[in-house]
């Protein structure tokens, strides 16, 4: 994402929202890449316990909590860290209704509901787009802002600090441990984590796995472009990433990358299903062992009573 592009488009207000969160430098790095095979392996081996992430990539173990992740990414690991997808009561019903009224621009609304992207102001639409691509990334529901989305939009709009590392860890746990299909989120952010832990990246590709904010995005948010059709050219070409040793010299196409990601997601789902079967078998075995132990203890108790009885 080019800072100059948004300045030329008169969208310093959007940059100010990122700057207030301390995220501008992180998301403005056009050289950030993503290694999809390493990302898939991370999620396959991922476990989140007590807000601590453990996994293994390329035979190297990694472990981090929100504070560690904040230090790696160079962002704050403080303040708002509430993550809810099903139970919205933690956010407060009255407050959520106020957010819904504000975002859908209907002050007489009486009930909570998801907000259509098209009902929001242009700035709120752009913040929503940024959130579902980078903060709580997902592949579905991109035109409806649920309670969690609405809360993050409001926090960014007001400049209240969001604890990105803590939210990331909660969302990573959801991606790794649910049976529902999810995009392999946080690609370039996790690639930074892999590099921090000295993991050799298999294939760092030169195509951003987050969508670039360009003219189509801004027009979709009902912004009027400065410079017309030529405006998007100021974004410049995507910076090619250096190839790691052993990688192909030709850069893969977007279609090839999406197909690769789809296959890896399928493989990840298969691994999760296999792990679920193993866990069920282990639970069954543990239950049988418990019953055997109980039977053995019962027999031992009878024998002990028999042999400890005084002779007649």
Print pLDDT tens along the chain (312 aa): 788 889 999 999 999 999 999 999 999 875 667 888 899 999 999 999 999 999 999 999 999 999 999 999 999 999 999 988 766 777 788 889 999 999 999 999 999 899 999 999 999 999 999 999 899 998 776 799 999 999 999 999 999 999 999 999 999 999 988 666 667 889 889 999 999 999 988 766 654 444 567 788 899 999 998 876 555 555 544 444 444 444 444 445 445 555 555 666 666 666 666 666 667 777 777 888 788 878 777 777 776 776 666 665
User: Cα–Cα distance between 243 and 250 in angstroms, integer?
Assistant: 9
pLDDT number for residue 7: 92
| C-alpha separations of 226 from 10, 16, 223 in Å | 8, 19, 9
Question: How buried is residue 236: exposed, middle or buried, by Cβ count under 10 Å (0-12/13-18/19+)?
Answer: exposed
User: Cα–Cα distance between 36 and 187 in angstroms, integer?
Assistant: 7
pLDDT number for residue 275: 64
pLDDT number for residue 266: 64
pLDDT number for residue 65: 98
Q: Which residues contact 148 (CB under 8 A, 6 or more apart)?
A: 83, 84, 85, 88, 91, 136
Nearest CA among 33, 24, 20, 36 for reference residue 185: 36
Tens of pLDDT, residue by residue over 271-310, are 666 666 667 777 777 888 788 878 777 777 776 776 666 6
């Amino acid at each position: 994402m080019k800072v100059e592009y948004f300045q030329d488009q008169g969208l310093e207000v959007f940059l100010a929202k990122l700057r207030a969160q301390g995220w501008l430098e992180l998301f403005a790095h056009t050289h950030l890449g993503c290694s999809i095979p390493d990302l898939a392996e991370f999620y396959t081996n991922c476990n989140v316990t007590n807000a601590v992430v453990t996994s293994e990539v390329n035979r190297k173990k990694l472990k981090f909590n929100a504070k560690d992740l904040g230090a790696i990414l160079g962002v704050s690991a403080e303040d708002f860290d509430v993550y809810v997808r099903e139970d919205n009561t933690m956010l407060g019903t009255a407050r959520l209704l106020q957010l819904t009224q504000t975002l859908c621009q209907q002050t007489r609304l009486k009930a909570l509901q998801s907000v259509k992207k098209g009902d929001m102001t242009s700035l709120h639409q752009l913040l929503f787009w940024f959130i579902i691509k980078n903060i709580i990334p997902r592949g579905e529901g991109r035109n409806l802002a649920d309670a969690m989305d609405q809360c993050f939009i409001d926090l960014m709009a007001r400049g209240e600090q969001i604890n990105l590392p803590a939210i990331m860890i909660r969302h990573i746990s959801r991606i790794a441990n649910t049976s529902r299909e999810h995009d392999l989120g946080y690609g370039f952010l996790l690639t930074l984590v892999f590099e921090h832990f000295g993991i050799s990246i298999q294939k760092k590709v030169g195509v951003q796995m987050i969508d670039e904010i360009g003219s189509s995005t801004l027009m979709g948010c009902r912004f009027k472009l400065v410079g017309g059709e030529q405006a998007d050219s100021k974004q410049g070409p995507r910076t090619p990433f250096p190839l790691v040793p052993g990688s192909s010299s030709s850069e893969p196409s977007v279609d090839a990358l999406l197909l690769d990601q789809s296959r890896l997601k399928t493989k990840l789902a298969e691994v999760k299903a296999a792990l679920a079967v193993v866990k069920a078998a282990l639970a069954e075995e543990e239950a049988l062992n418990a019953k055997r132990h109980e039977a053995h203890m019962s027999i031992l108790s009878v024998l002990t009573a028999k042999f400890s009885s005084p002779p007649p």
